[in-house]
């Protein structure tokens, strides 16, 4: 049973004429769905068999705590949008940007002053500003982000790799921004006015 109801009872089918797209014919079914829980709407694009192809907003995007650095949140959301349209290289680059912006926000002066992200991450690890369990993942994210930005030098970023990066960045955001903010709220020390 789904948690969504079709918001607009009218679903439309759109066929693109084959003579305009080099013999390619695309057929998609679009629907606006409303969540029974939160009441928010989502646009769903499915193939004729009902397999979901695209969702807007993409799952996981736009649901971050207000205490998350604006740049980090924006890069993460853009990475999620890239992921939702299978733009895996672009997603990897945006997730790497999230990490870079995290360093600029939470790193020591020495880390923030580094020109290269790998060196900045090493400073954060040495300074204790980045938990050692996160450092290896951060280093991996940096490498895959570089691969996405320089496809001429590396293999393509796969869908599985891009999804893995999204999960890591989401975990980093949760660990470094949302959990501390929630603790402060629970102690009555943070009001989100």
For residue range 34-86, list pLDDT tens digits in order. 777 777 777 777 777 777 777 777 766 667 889 999 999 999 999 998 988 88
Q: What is the DSSP string of 82-127?
A: HHHTT-HHHHHHHHHHHHHHHHHHHS-HHHHH-SSHHHHHHHHHHH
Q: What is the pLDDT of residue 15?
A: 39
| Whole-structure pTM value | 0.73
Q: What is the pLDDT of residue 22?
A: 56
pLDDT at residue 25 is higher than 80: no
Please list the residue range(s) of the chain that carry CATH number 1.20.120. 70-186
For the domain covering 70-186, report its CATH number: 1.20.120
Q: What is the pLDDT of residue 167?
A: 92
* Average pLDDT of the chain, as a whole number: 80
For residue range 125-166, list pLDDT tens digits in order. 999 888 878 888 888 887 877 777 777 777 788 999 999 999
């Amino acid at each position: 049973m789904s948690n969504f109801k079709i918001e607009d009872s009218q679903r439309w089918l759109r066929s693109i004429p084959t003579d305009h797209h080099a013999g390619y014919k695309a057929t998609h079914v679009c629907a606006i769905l409303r969540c029974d829980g939160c009441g928010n709407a989502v646009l769903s694009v499915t193939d004729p068999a009902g397999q979901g192809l695209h969702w807007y907003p993409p799952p996981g995007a736009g649901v971050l705590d207000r205490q998350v650095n604006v740049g980090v949140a924006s890069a993460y959301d853009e990475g999620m949008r890239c992921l939702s349209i299978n733009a895996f290289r672009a997603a990897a680059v945006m997730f790497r940007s999230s990490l870079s912006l995290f360093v600029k926000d939470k790193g020591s002066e020495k880390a923030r002053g580094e020109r290269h992200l790998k060196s900045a991450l090493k400073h954060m690890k040495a300074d204790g500003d980045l938990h050692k369990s996160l450092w290896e993942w951060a280093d991996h994210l940096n490498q895959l982000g570089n691969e996405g930005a320089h496809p001429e030098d590396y293999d393509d970023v796969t869908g599985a790799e891009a999804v893995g990066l999204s999960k890591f960045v989401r975990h980093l955001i949760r660990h470094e921004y949302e959990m501390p903010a929630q603790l402060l709220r629970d102690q009555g020390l943070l009001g989100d006015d």
